[in-house]
């Protein structure tokens, strides 16, 4: 058995060496995430990457400078949307698709995105509800509604801040930018 066959066998046998550990140990290039810190879907990908333990190379796209419309970016993503992931030439856009892909490829286990179809269907149901209904309803108002009158929401946000890996790093600056930008636009 040559080295390539041995590596292939190890990759097919996750009980021997989990793929996430293998990819980290052989110094594979980091997946590249084209992102905008202010974007909630981009921050969702960053939070998932933190939870999974995969390091991403972040490339900031300024939506205000219309970087997503540049020819170089449109060659990567013809829909010119962010987030966009480039994992060694495999291009994926949409935060939900990226998160599921990262969980499947780099996750230590299936706790975030289960292999069991019934459990996975519940996760998918919630993801589709988020993108199809919830985000569409809330995107225009969420930044301006104080959470103090809603103790359950305030408690949930506090739990996120304290318990989600990398929450402050992946989410904090973008939330602040988002709030500042839109509040400035609403000033008379």
Q: What DSSP letter does each residue of 79-135 carry, written as one string?
A: T--S-EEEETTEEEESHHHHHHHHHHHH-SSSSSS-SSHHHHHHHHHHHHHIIIIIH
Which residue in the list 6, 20, 25, 39 is annotated as catalytic? 39
Angle (CA) 22-168-51 rounded to 5° is: 25
39 catalytic per annotation: yes
What backbone phi and psi angles, to 5 degrees, belong to 70?
-65, 145
Q: b/e string for 52-76 if b means 16 or more Cβ within 10 A?
A: bebebebeebeeeeebbeeeebeeb
- CA distance readout (Å), 47 to 63, 76, 162: 21, 23, 13
Q: Which residues carry out catalysis?
A: 39
């Amino acid at each position: 058995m040559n080295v390539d066959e041995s590596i292939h066998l190890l990759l097919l046998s996750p009980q021997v060496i989990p793929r996430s550990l293998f990819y980290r140990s052989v110094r594979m290039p980091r997946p590249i995430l084209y992102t905008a810190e202010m974007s909630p879907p981009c921050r969702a990908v960053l939070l998932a990457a933190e939870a999974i333990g995969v390091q991403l190379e972040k490339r900031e796209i300024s939506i205000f400078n219309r970087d997503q419309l540049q020819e170089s970016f449109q060659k990567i993503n013809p829909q010119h949307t962010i987030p966009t992931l480039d994992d060694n030439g495999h291009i994926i856009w949409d935060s939900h698709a990226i998160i599921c892909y990262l969980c499947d490829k780099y996750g230590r286990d299936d706790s975030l995105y289960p292999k069991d179809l019934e459990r996975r269907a519940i996760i998918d149901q919630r993801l589709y509800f988020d993108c199809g209904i919830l985000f569409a309803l809330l995107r225009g108002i969420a930044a301006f509604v104080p959470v103090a009158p809603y103790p359950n929401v305030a408690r949930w946000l506090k739990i996120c801040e304290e318990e989600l890996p990398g929450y402050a790093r992946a989410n904090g600056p973008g939330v602040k930018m988002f709030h500042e930008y839109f509040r400035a636009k609403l000033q008379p």
